[in-house]
């Protein structure tokens, strides 16, 4: 970075000269097709696996668009009150395994052993992407924070401010919001 003397605006100038080294990881990209009830995982352009999944049921559809892995934890508690689901649809599940967070509002890819038999057949979640415990563990081991997961053939697109939603902004809108006009 050669920032020394660079005009940052408002009378502020850069002062640093730095060399930064970093390494890029593999390109792990996953695509969930809500209609087909599958997730295809690729690594550096090569398909690794196509997994059977169950996504959001009517009224709780999984969002379309590209989301990014925000965090990963091997086990968490999922309580519907934290995402505003009460009444007959409420749940409080302890020890949910192989959790890959996609949005701050609570969209995850995770193991759903209680939905065995729905994978590849029925969308039956409250918006998460569920799969068998074995597939969820495999997926958990493949992805890293920052890897994109794109959902297609659902209803609404994930909000731009719900995670790293900038992926879902078209170029014209992106440019319109730029400070470099």
> Which candidate in 21, 110, 126, 144 is catalytic?
110
Separation in Å, CA 15 to CA 5, 19, 25, 47, 179? 6, 14, 31, 45, 21
Residue 32 to residues 38, 80, 153, 173, Cα–Cα distance (Å): 6, 23, 9, 25
118 contacts: CB under 8 Å, gap ≥ 6: 54, 112, 124, 130
Please tell me which residue in 21, 126, 128, 144 is annotated as part of the active site. 128
C-beta contacts of 45-51 below 8 A and 24+ residues apart: 48/142, 49/135, 49/138, 51/131, 51/135, 51/138, 51/139
**Has 126 been annotated as catalytic?**
no
What 3-state class would DSSP assign to 60? coil
Distances (CA, A) of 63 to 17, 52, 78, 129: 43, 18, 19, 10
Catalytic residues: 110, 128
């Amino acid at each position: 970075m050669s920032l020394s003397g660079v005009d940052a605006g408002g009378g502020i100038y850069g002062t640093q000269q730095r060399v930064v080294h970093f390494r890029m990881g593999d390109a792990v990209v996953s695509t969930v097709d809500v209609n087909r009830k599958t997730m295809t995982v690729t690594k550096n352009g090569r398909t690794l696996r196509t997994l059977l999944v169950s996504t959001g049921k009517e009224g709780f559809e999984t969002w379309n668009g590209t989301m990014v892995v925000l965090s990963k934890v091997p086990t968490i508690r999922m309580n519907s009150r934290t995402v505003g689901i009460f009444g007959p649809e409420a749940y409080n599940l302890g020890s949910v395994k192989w959790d890959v967070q996609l949005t701050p509002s609570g969209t995850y890819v995770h193991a759903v052993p209680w939905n065995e038999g729905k994978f590849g057949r029925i969308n039956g979640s409250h918006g998460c992407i569920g799969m068998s415990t074995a597939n969820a563990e495999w997926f958990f081991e493949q992805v890293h924070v920052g890897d994109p997961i794109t959902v297609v053939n659902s209803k609404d697109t994930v909000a731009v401010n719900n995670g790293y939603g900038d992926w879902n902004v078209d170029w014209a809108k992106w440019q319109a919001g730029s400070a470099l006009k």
